[in-house]
Amino acid sequence: MYSTMQDVPLLVSRILEHGRKVHATSTVTTWTGEAEPHRRTFAEVGDRAAQLAHALRDELGVRPDDRVATLMWNNAEHVEAYFAIPSMGSILHTLNLRLPVEQLVFIVNHAADRVVIANGSLLPLLAPLLPHLPTVEHVVVSGPGDRSALDGLDVRVHDYEELLAGRATGYAWPELDERQAAAMCYTSGTTGDPKGVVYSHRSIYLHSMQVNMTESMGLTDADTTLVVVPQFHVNAWGLPHATFMTGINMLMPDRFLQPGPLAEMIVAERPTHAAAVPTIWQGLLAELAARPRDISCMKNVTIGGSACPPSLMEAYDKLGVRVCHAWGMTETSPLGTMAHPPHGLSGEEEWPYRITQGRFPAGVEGRLIGPGGDELPWDGESAGELEVRGTWIAGAYYGGADGEPLRPEDKFSADGWLKTGDVGVISADGFLTLTDRAKDVIKSGGEWISSVELENALMAHPEVAEAAVVAVPDDKWGERPLATVVLKEGATADYAALREFLGLSVAKWQLPERWALVPAVPKTSVGKFDKKVIRRQYADGELEVTKLA
């Protein structure tokens, strides 16, 4: 027996048209660095998305299933591309502008992109790549920039605004299969080549609904979200789609991602929410310490991408800004968990829940697998590798234009669960606490040491700006922790003092013997600590390491 319900496909075009009509006056505000930012209503974004779709189809010959890449900052034009490309039946492919050149070349060629839409300011990055990108036929340039870099290259160059000018503001969006590809994003390739994750219309739609749930970000049309997380990073954590569902206003920073400009736009535009990785909020905190401003308008901040140090949460609490910890990855769209404490607790009682990665939403199932392959209980003590499955979780990687989907055994279980590579525990009431990445756990004398726990404890020191801990070889114990530390300006703490401070919260046998001061912790293209670089620097003798007795 089947239901009597209508079978209406869950499509990106339906999100677009809903926002365009029902939330027509909500706005996408793009920071310009000038006296007045650029503002565009959802209705205008919808009109221009239709014009872009006409231009891509009629002028550039883009067909269903063609990949259209974007090399863009967070701005209104990028939002237009977010909706136009999948709604017309093609596939949006966001390019991470912070990746190494060789990885960008690999990604574009692997995806076989036909068109690249790029901000003019990023042409110096794109132009040298184009001779190595045989599938790219067209480059569409949005905004100011020196276009002479494209002279003489074997591509057709178009101006974004000229392409849109005079075209119809309505488009007969096709009725697609909701399982069809809508967008793709590649992992940052920290080991091996980057891997392509392809999101369906269905997965984006369901993920957007979850983002809007009160147990997730829970924003409404009374809110403005500052979208600092890049649009090339897992669909900006689903915010562009979620905003069009509920009418949330968007504040887009464009290329102004430094702490000073971010502080200025918060003061000027008064967003109520923001989303970014911890390194962004650490930089903003230092900026506010040097030049105080009132940012208490931001009642809620979502932090994900890597573990948020508890000391950072405490610092923002004092500024009137509540931080909510989240966990996810490219393969999870990315929403996997969010750390909202159970109802009815006091502030002190909430704290143990806030510093976890949070609870799984209804669309995501989680399990822990022990070293022997057994599933572990949710008891808050049994540690294993986290595996997940759900309606917006990847079941394979993109195999290339002519290839089958890839399901490597180290990434997917035999019964189809995604192996996250994260190690942690789950409490009886479903709160996930990650203790490390599987590859970053320090195995010392047969016992595990959490690098994340050591980092969080170190970054609670008032003179420490950043700290990253990695495993290094040790003749006696197999591995021991190496602590690399960035001190705040004017700080005087020495290694012995830092080790003594660390001993207040960490077992003595876990305390690092090896220490190094660094000017900055290396970061990946999405702002995470790049520990493979630290391990290489240590192996090559590039770090000035002090070993304490």
Residues 408 and 445 in one domain: no
* Residue where a domain terminates, one of 425, 452, 472: 425
Determine the Cα–Cα distance for residues 160 and 143; give it in Å rounded to an integer. 8
- Residue 444's pLDDT is 87
- Whether the predicted pLDDT of 76 surpasses 90: yes
| Cβ proximity of 45 and 249 under 8 Å | no
The DSSP string of 452-513 is HHHHHHHHTSTTEEEEEEEEEEETTTEEEEEEEEEEPTT----HHHHHHHHTTTS-GGGS-S
Residue 173 is among the residues annotated as catalytic for this protein: no
Residue 434 lies in a domain: no
Q: Could you tell me which residue, 442 or 133, shows the higher pLDDT?
A: 133
Determine the Cα–Cα distance for residues 140 and 356; give it in Å rounded to an integer. 43
Average pLDDT of the chain is 94
- Whether the predicted pLDDT of 189 surpasses 60: no
Proportion of the chain above pLDDT 90, given as a percent: 87
* Residue where a domain terminates, one of 381, 397, 425: 425
Which tokens is 364 given? 């995501």
- Whether the predicted pLDDT of 440 surpasses 60: yes
Residues 30 and 135 in one domain: yes
Determine the Cα–Cα distance for residues 163 and 168; give it in Å rounded to an integer. 12
The DSSP string of 208-223 is HHHHTSTTTT---TT-
pLDDT digits (tens, 9 = 90+) for 495-547: 999 999 999 988 888 999 999 999 999 988 778 889 989 999 999 999 999 99
Which tokens is 504 given? 């207040």
- Residue 279's pLDDT is 87
Residue 531 lies in a domain: yes
Residue 443 is among the residues annotated as catalytic for this protein: yes
- Whether the predicted pLDDT of 54 surpasses 90: yes
- Residue 64's pLDDT is 96
| Cβ proximity of 129 and 105 under 8 Å | yes
Residue 453 is among the residues annotated as catalytic for this protein: no
| Cβ proximity of 220 and 248 under 8 Å | yes
Run of H or E residues at 111 = helix 101-111
The DSSP string of 50-61 is HHHHHIIIIIS-
Full residue range of the structural domain in which residue 511 is found: 440-547
Residue 1 lies in a domain: no
- Whether the predicted pLDDT of 192 surpasses 80: no
Q: What is the mean pLDDT of residues 453-479?
A: 92
Determine the Cα–Cα distance for residues 518 and 469; give it in Å rounded to an integer. 12
Gyration radius (Cα) of the chain, Å: 24
Determine the Cα–Cα distance for residues 389 and 415; give it in Å rounded to an integer. 10
- Whether the predicted pLDDT of 143 surpasses 70: yes
Q: What DSSP designation does 529 have?
A: B
Q: Could you tell me which residue, 509 or 367, shows the higher pLDDT?
A: 367
Residue 264 is among the residues annotated as catalytic for this protein: no
Which tokens is 200 given? 């369906």
Q: What DSSP designation does 130 have?
A: G
Residue 283 lies in a domain: yes
Residues 251 and 116 in one domain: yes
From first CA to last CA, the distance across the chain in angstroms is 73
The DSSP string of 434-465 is EEEETTT-EEETTEEE-HHHHHHHHHTSTTEE
- Residue 450's pLDDT is 87
Residues 412 and 465 in one domain: no
Q: Which 3 state secondary structure label does DSSP give 151?
A: coil
pLDDT band at 191 (very low <50, low <70, confident <90, very high): low
Please count the other Cβ atoms lying within 10 Å of the Cβ belonging to residue 121. Answer: 16
Residues 45 and 110 in one domain: yes
Q: How many domains does the chain have?
A: 2
> Which residues are CB-neighbours of 417 under 8 A, at least 6 positions away?
367, 387, 388, 389
- Residue 452's pLDDT is 87
Determine the Cα–Cα distance for residues 310 and 469; give it in Å rounded to an integer. 16
Residues 445 and 420 in one domain: no
Residue 532 lies in a domain: yes
Active-site pick, 29, 187, 332, 420: 187
In 3D space, the residue among 396, 408, 420 whose CA is nearest the CA of residue 328 turns out to be: 420
In 3D space, the residue among 109, 54, 108, 113 whose CA is nearest the CA of residue 80 turns out to be: 54
Buried b (16+ CB within 10 A) or exposed e, 377-395: ebeeeebbbbbbbbbbbbe
Residues 223 and 274 in one domain: yes
Longest dimension (CA), the chain: 74
Residues 502 and 421 in one domain: no
- Residue 141's pLDDT is 98
Q: Which 3 state secondary structure label does DSSP give 385?
A: strand
Residue 71 lies in a domain: yes
Q: Is the pTM of this model over 0.75?
A: yes
Residues 502 and 358 in one domain: no
In 3D space, the residue among 451, 439, 540 whose CA is nearest the CA of residue 190 turns out to be: 439
Determine the Cα–Cα distance for residues 249 and 40; give it in Å rounded to an integer. 10
Which tokens is 461 given? 């020191």
Proportion of the chain above pLDDT 70, given as a percent: 99
Q: Which CATH number do you get for residue 383? A: 3.40.50.12780
Q: Which CATH number do you get for residue 522? A: 3.30.300.30
**Number of alpha carbons in the 13 Å side-chain half-sphere of residue 155:** 29
Determine the Cα–Cα distance for residues 86 and 232; give it in Å rounded to an integer. 15
| Cβ proximity of 141 and 164 under 8 Å | no
Which tokens is 435 given? 């203790």
By mean pLDDT, which of 108-117, 285-294, 523-532 is the weakest? Answer: 523-532
Residues 24 and 53 in one domain: yes
Active-site pick, 21, 439, 443, 547: 443
Residues 205 and 130 in one domain: yes
- Whether the predicted pLDDT of 190 surpasses 60: no
Q: Which 3 state secondary structure label does DSSP give 102?
A: helix
Residue 5 lies in a domain: no
Residue 431 lies in a domain: no
Active-site pick, 77, 80, 178, 331: 331
CA angle 23, 244, 17 (to 5 degrees): 75
pLDDT band at 308 (very low <50, low <70, confident <90, very high): confident
Residues 181 and 302 in one domain: yes
- Residue 475's pLDDT is 85
